[in-house]
């Protein structure tokens, strides 16, 4: 779900741009209904500003580079813009900054939109920032009131402490609810991100996990991707039958998994195709995969029931970040290109370079 990462942020940026365009209708609706001219001008100015900013955020979200700070920056912007508009409204009518339901509701929208990034930390950040900014704004408005009459408005009613505490409580409830939704989505993805036969992470898990892997690479770690395909495994399946072939597949997985270091992963893409995420340079990754290739060949699978032992082999194509690509698609593409070269040369070999 986080491979929507740029995807999740891009979706939010598009949604923000669409909502910002709709905001241009609010000042028009207010003017037609006889709203105060000053408030209409503030609303129009704010709508123009958020539309310009929405296009800037959209351009950044479309950038192929992964900006780890972008979701936090845009969430802070969504919350702070809402606070800014409420502060501007309070200049004309102190109570408007407290009781404007339309503008205040954008806090809830900002918190809810964080769920589209599938990151609970972001939800908690946006919710805490909204409560902090709104709490400070309300405290300043109450402290600046010289007389009780300044907390009464013909258009917005009376500003009371109890009413503002209720709004802060609603922001807290919205934050908790959104965080629970994000947590539930993550759990569902985690449950569906396992291969039933081998217990390995599957393609969905890979798509969800890779944005975190790339984010951690900024700390100077290496990453090599090995695309592994068992050679002629369908013939093994035909010779010993499906149940024993499943056991043979688990036998291969056990040997491949033995070569992983802490923090590394073996992922089953489907069938007899796997991806190994290795935190080492390309040359070291080749040596390790070559050792695993020999180990698998030297440890044949014994199906039993009088059947002959089956020697298993694999071909693998390697790619390295960032030389061969800075995203999962490019890395897998480079690895697959080398894998196909190895297959064309008879299989049972590891390829780390283009011919």
Distance, in Å, from the CA atom of 77 to the CA atom of 60, rounded to the nearest integer, reads: 14
The secondary structure of residue 146, as a DSSP letter, is S
Instruction: Confirm if 196 and 252 have CB atoms less than 8 A apart.
Output: no
Per CATH, the homologous superfamily of domain 203-351 is Reverse transcriptase/Diguanylate cyclase domain (3.30.70.270)
Which of these, 51, 54, 76, lies nearest to 10 by C-alpha position?
54
List CB contacts of 216: < 8 A, sequence separation 6 or more. none
200 and 266 in contact (C-beta within 8 Å)?
yes
**pLDDT (tens digit, 0 to 9) for every residue of the chain, 355 residues total?**
444 444 577 888 888 888 888 877 876 776 676 666 666 777 778 788 888 988 998 888 887 566 678 889 999 999 999 999 899 889 888 898 999 898 899 999 999 999 888 888 999 999 999 999 999 999 999 998 888 888 888 888 888 999 999 999 999 999 999 999 988 887 776 666 778 788 888 888 888 788 878 877 766 788 999 999 999 888 888 888 888 889 999 999 999 999 899 888 999 988 899 999 999 999 999 999 999 999 999 999 988 777 788 899 999 999 999 899 888 899 999 999 999 999 999 989 999 988 7
**Cβ pair 281, 352 in contact under 8 A:** no
CB neighbours of residue 44 within 10 Å: 17
Cα–Cα distance between 343 and 321 in angstroms, integer?
23
Return all residues near 77 (Cβ < 8 A) that are at least 6 apart: 53, 57
The answer to whether the bond into 322 is cis (omega within 30° of 0) is: yes
Q: Three-state SS for 227?
A: strand
Q: Can you give the C-alpha Rg of the chain in angstroms?
A: 28
pTM of the model: 0.57
């Amino acid at each position: 779900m986080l491979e929507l990462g740029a995807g999740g942020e891009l979706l939010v940026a598009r949604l923000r741009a669409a909502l910002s365009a709709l905001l241009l209708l609010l000042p028009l609706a207010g003017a037609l209904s006889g709203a105060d001219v000053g408030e209409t001008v503030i609303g129009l100015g704010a709508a123009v500003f958020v539309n310009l900013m929405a296009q800037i955020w959209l351009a950044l979200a479309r950038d192929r580079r992964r900006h780890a700070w972008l979701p936090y920056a845009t969430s802070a912007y969504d919350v702070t813009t809402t606070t800014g508009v409420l502060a501007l409204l309070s200049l004309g009518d102190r109570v408007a900054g407290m009781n404007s339901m339309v503008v205040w509701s954008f806090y809830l929208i900002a918190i809810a939109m964080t769920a589209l990034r599938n990151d609970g930390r972001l939800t908690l950040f946006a919710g805490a920032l909204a409560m902090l900014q709104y709490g400070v704004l309300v405290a300043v408005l109450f402290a600046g009131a010289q007389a009780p009459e300044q907390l009464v408005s013909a258009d917005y009613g009376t500003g009371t402490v109890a009413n503002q505490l209720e709004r802060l409580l609603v922001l807290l409830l919205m934050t908790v609810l959104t965080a629970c939704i994000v947590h539930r989505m993550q759990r569902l993805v985690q449950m569906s991100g396992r291969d039933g036969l081998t217990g390995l992470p599957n393609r969905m898990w890979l798509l969800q996990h890779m944005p975190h892997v790339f984010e951690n690479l900024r700390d100077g770690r290496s990453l090599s991707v090995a695309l592994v395909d068992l050679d002629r495994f369908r013939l093994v399946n035909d010779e010993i039958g499906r149940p024993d072939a499943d056991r043979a597949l688990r036998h291969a997985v056990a040997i491949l998994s033995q070569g992983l270091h802490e923090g590394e992963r073996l992922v089953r893409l489907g069938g007899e195709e796997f991806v190994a995420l290795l935190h080492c340079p390309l040359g070291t990754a080749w040596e390790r995969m070559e050792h695993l290739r020999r180990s698998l060949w030297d440890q044949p699978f014994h199906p039993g029931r009088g059947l002959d032992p089956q020697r298993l082999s694999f071909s693998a194509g390697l790619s390295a970040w960032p030389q061969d690509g800075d995203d999962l698609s490019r890395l897998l593409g480079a690895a697959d290109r080398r894998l196909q070269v190895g297959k064309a040369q008879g299989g049972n070999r590891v390829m780390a370079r283009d011919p």
